[in-house]
Amino acid sequence: MSQIIPLALGNPRQPFIVLSGPSFAVELMEKLPTAMVVASKDKKLASAVQQLLASSNLRISTSSDVTGVEIAGALKNVLAIAAGIVEGMHLGNNCMAALVAQGCSEIRWLATKMGAKPTTLSGLSGSGDIMLTCFVNLSRNRNVGLRLGSGEKLGEILDSMNQVAEGVSTAGAVIALAQKYNVKLPVLTAVARIIDNELTPKRAVMELMNLPQVEEV
C-alpha cells in the first residue's frame, strides 16, 4: 500500500510525505503486526509522522528517499501483474522466481537512474512490498494478471472489479520512462504491451525467453 499525503494543496513548495510498504489494509484493520516506511525530504516531518502512526502493531521507519519509495511503490504493481500472469498460465515456481528477480532488477535499474538509493529498493518499500504484492492472493494487481494469464480480457476483468488495480494505469508510463532514462525493462514493458493489447501473454513469454543470453547485473 502506498499513499502520498499532501500537506498544503496548491503550494508546490510545501513538503509532502509518502507512506508505503508491505501492507494490506485488511490486516492493518485487524491489528496484525505490520511495518511501513514514511518518506519525506523533511526529516523532522518524517519523524513526526513516525511518532504519530507507530503503535504496538505498526512499526514505521523513516526515509529521505522519496523517489525510491515512490518508484518502487508504483512499479511493484506492474510487476505483480506479471507475477499473476505467470500463475494464471501455470508456468511453475522456477518461472515465477526468475520473473520476479528480473522485475526487481528492472525496478532497481530505473529507480537508481532516477536518483533513488539502492538501499531503499532492498528495504520494506522495495523488496518487502514487491514480495507481498507479487505472491499473495489479496493483491488486486496480481489477481488482474492471474486472470489475464487464464485467458480473460482486460476489459472484462476491470468491469468485474470494485477496486482499482493501480498497475494497469501505471504500466502506461513504463515504456516512456524506459525511453527517457535509456533503460531496458523487458518484463515491465511486456506488461505494458499486454495491457495495451499489443502482445498476448503467451507471446510475451516467448519473447522474454528468447532474449539474448547475458551476464547478470
Phi, psi of 156 (to 5 degrees): -65, -40
Exposed/middle/buried for residue 151 (C-beta within 10 Å: 0-12, 13-18, 19+): exposed
Q: How far is CA 118 from the centre of its chain?
A: 15
Q: Which of 41, 44, 76, 202 is catalytic?
A: 76
Give the integer Cα–Cα distance in Å for 206 and 191. Answer: 13
Q: What is the DSSP letter of 119?
A: H
| Residue 148, H or E segment | helix 140-149
User: Is 76 noted as a catalytic residue in this protein?
Assistant: yes
Q: Which of 83, 75, 84 is nearest to 120 (CA)?
A: 75
Q: Are 124 and 59 a contacting pair, CB within 8 Å?
A: no
C-alpha grid cell, residue 199? 502482445
Give the integer Cα–Cα distance in Å for 102 and 55. Answer: 35
C-alpha grid cell, residue 21? 510498504
Q: How far is CA 127 from the centre of its chain?
A: 9
Give the residue numbers marked as catalytic: 76
